[in-house]
Structures are given as structure tokens and as C-alpha cells.
Amino acid sequence: MSLPSPAPTIEQAAARLASLLTYAGGALSDPERHDLVFEAEISVRPLVRLPAPADVWAVDGGQAVVADARCLQLVVTRASRARWRGGRFVLEDEGELRPQLVGCGEERTAVMTYAMPVRPDAAVDIGLLRDWGEWQAVSQSVEEADAGAMVLIDGDLEPDWRLPPSYLDGLFARADAGGVTLAGVTKHSSLARGGAPLLGQLERRAEESLGPRAMWWARLATTRPDSGPNRQILAARLDPDARFSFRVDVPAGADPESVLGSLSSLADDAAFPGYPYPLSVADRLAACPGWVRDDVWAQLEDGLDIAGVPFDVRERAFTDRHRLMERA
């Protein structure tokens, strides 16, 4: 009987990671998506800042697990919106907290409650609940936006895989008819070349060829036609002081230089240059920090008190044994 190979050492793992991070070649990929057709050659081009749209909407989602009995959870999700119009914020909407029991089939009620266009046998989890809430908020923003507006989405322009491509088809069509531009901005992209982060490689190349304070953009890929409305996958550094570039998704018919140039005028915030500040506001509004979970838990306990559920029943259901052991 052969003996198992020895586990790799930290030094070996570090050496392998170093080889990936410093090798600029290899195939382009996105481990989280398989619907992209990458450009044969990626060209980094200078980006010129243009005036910002007069009307900008931003949408982001948040989620939290409030109570966890392992077989059953109480989760909350919400979708937040911010509107930047005429040079100031005129709307900062946290969005309603949506509580939902998940597990043992309880999550199936959400399909009807929120009119989710998913298959009857689709698995429903906190990720899908959050994603659907976000896209509902995007749809509402498109309907309320002025002609010529831009609607920004945190993340790529790709709904959860359980949502049908036809949903995005309809949303894109309504946005186009209303003269509204959709753009998805991904904070931390999984795009890779040769197993290493692609955007980091492009940032180094742009700094060498265009200078350390250059704004730039590059077209990376398009989506396959069978994966919903066709989209362009771009990368851009949106401010001269930005530490990082971002992945930006736009519809196939959009002019990337025009969209990114306008977007760059919304990305000159001193606190985090390079990231559109309407999305920063939406991100803050959507967050579900500890105090939000504590507040929902307090409301939950009030409801359990009214229902006459004994304290020991709740304790046995929801106490985290791992956390208790770690305290010992």
C-alpha cells in the first residue's frame, strides 16, 4: 500500500503563489463565470474624463443571518438605492428589511411573496433572496430615472444563475427605450490570467506604458449570446489618484469610452478615489452590521415571547456551540 504524499509546506505554497503573481502570461478566465468570450489581445487605452450624467442611480444589497438553528435560519436581506441628481444626493433609501425563514422548505414561500421568476424546483437561499431584491430595485430605478440617466449596480450585469435570462432581456429593453444606461461595477473581480488576478497585471502594464497617474480603460470580453443580452466586460482606472482599477460591465450597444468617461466624474471622492461615490453611498445604506442583526433578533424574541416559546427552547435551537467552545 502506497503512503500518502506529505502535505505541502507554507514555503512551498508561498513559492507557488509567487510564481502565479509574477507570471504575466497564460489563459484568460473567470472562475466564477463561464459565459465570457475574451479578447484575443487586451489593449490598455487612455481614458478622458467627461461630464457626469445629470441623473445617477446606484443600487446595492445587504444580507445577514439573524438566527441559525442549522436546519433552519432566519435571514434578512435588503436592497438600497441612492440617487445623485444635479450635483447632489436627492435620495438615500436603505430599503425595507425582508425577513425570511430558510431551511426545511420554509424558503419556498419567498417565491410567491416576492414574485421570483425561478423554476418551481429552484433552490432558494440567502444569495438568491438578496440578488432578486437588488434586481427589483434596479428595475424600479430604471422606471423612475430621467432620460439620459445612468443606473449603477454593485457587481456584474449578471443575475443569479437561477433567474432566467429573459428577465435581463426585458430589463435591458426597458432601459434602452428610456434612454437609461446600465453599468455594473465589481469591487473585487475574479478575472484572471494564468491563475493570477488580471486587473493587477493591467494596472502594472498601464503604469509602465501610460504613467503612474493615467486614467485608462480596456475591453476584456463580451458575453456569449446564449447567456442573455450581450454585454461588454471592461476594466478601468477612473481617477488619477485611484489605487485600484475595477471591472465594469455595460450593455453591448453602449459606447465604452463615453460611459467610462462619464463614470469617472463620479469617482473622484477623496476617501476612496476611483470608485463611484453613488455606489459607495448605496453600499453604506445596504450594510447589515451587528446592530441591525441585534435589533432584528430583539424583535424576534418579542414575537417568541408573545407566542409563549420558552427561553430554553430558543437556547437549544440557536446557541452556537462552536463559539461557546472557543470561549473556554
Task: Find out whether 84 and 56 touch, Cβ atoms under 8 Å.
Answer: yes
Domain hosting residue 118, numbered range: 38-288
pLDDT category at 328 given cuts 50, 70, 90 is: low
Q: What percent of the chain has pLDDT over 90?
A: 77
**Do residue 84 and residue 203 come from a single domain?**
yes
**Do residue 315 and residue 203 come from a single domain?**
no
**Do residue 63 and residue 134 come from a single domain?**
yes
Q: Terminal CA-to-CA distance of the chain, rounded, Å?
A: 41
Q: What is the CATH number of the domain that holds 112?
A: 3.30.2170
**Do residue 119 and residue 225 come from a single domain?**
yes
Q: Which of 85, 276, 273 is nearest to 183 (CA)?
A: 276
Query: 26 vs 134, 181, 195, CA distance in Å?
Result: 35, 34, 8
Of 135 and 164, the one with more pLDDT:
135
With cell 502535505, the residue in question is 7
**Do residue 198 and residue 255 come from a single domain?**
yes
81-114, pLDDT tens digit by residue?
999 998 899 999 999 999 999 999 999 999 999 9
Indicate whether 9 belongs to any domain. no
Indicate whether 171 belongs to any domain. yes
Q: Kindly report the pTM of this predicted structure.
A: 0.92
- Measured from the Cβ of residue 217, the count of other Cβ atoms closer than 10 Å reads 27
Is residue 256 classed as helix, strand or coil in its secondary structure?
A: helix
**Do residue 100 and residue 228 come from a single domain?**
yes
For residue 203, the one-letter residue type is E
Q: What letter would DSSP give residue 153?
A: E
**Do residue 193 and residue 322 come from a single domain?**
no
The DSSP code sequence of 16-62 is HHHHHHH---S-EE-TT---EEE-SS---EE----PPPSEEEEEEEE
242-290, pLDDT tens digit by residue?
999 999 999 999 999 999 999 999 999 888 899 999 999 999 999 999 9
Indicate whether 248 belongs to any domain. yes
Indicate whether 96 belongs to any domain. yes
Indicate whether 92 belongs to any domain. yes
Indicate whether 120 belongs to any domain. yes
What is the Cα 298 distance to its own chain's centre?
29
pLDDT category at 4 given cuts 50, 70, 90 is: confident
Q: In whole angstroms, what is the distance from residue 198 CA to residue 208 CA? A: 16
Indicate whether 4 belongs to any domain. no
**Do residue 258 and residue 311 come from a single domain?**
no
pLDDT category at 326 given cuts 50, 70, 90 is: low
Q: In whole angstroms, what is the distance from residue 36 CA to residue 272 CA? A: 29
Q: What letter would DSSP give residue 248?
A: E
**Do residue 148 and residue 263 come from a single domain?**
yes
In the chain, the number of structural domains is 2
184-211, pLDDT tens digit by residue?
999 999 999 988 999 999 999 999 999 9
Q: What letter would DSSP give residue 227?
A: G
**Do residue 216 and residue 270 come from a single domain?**
yes
**Do residue 309 and residue 277 come from a single domain?**
no
**Do residue 213 and residue 306 come from a single domain?**
no
Indicate whether 65 belongs to any domain. yes
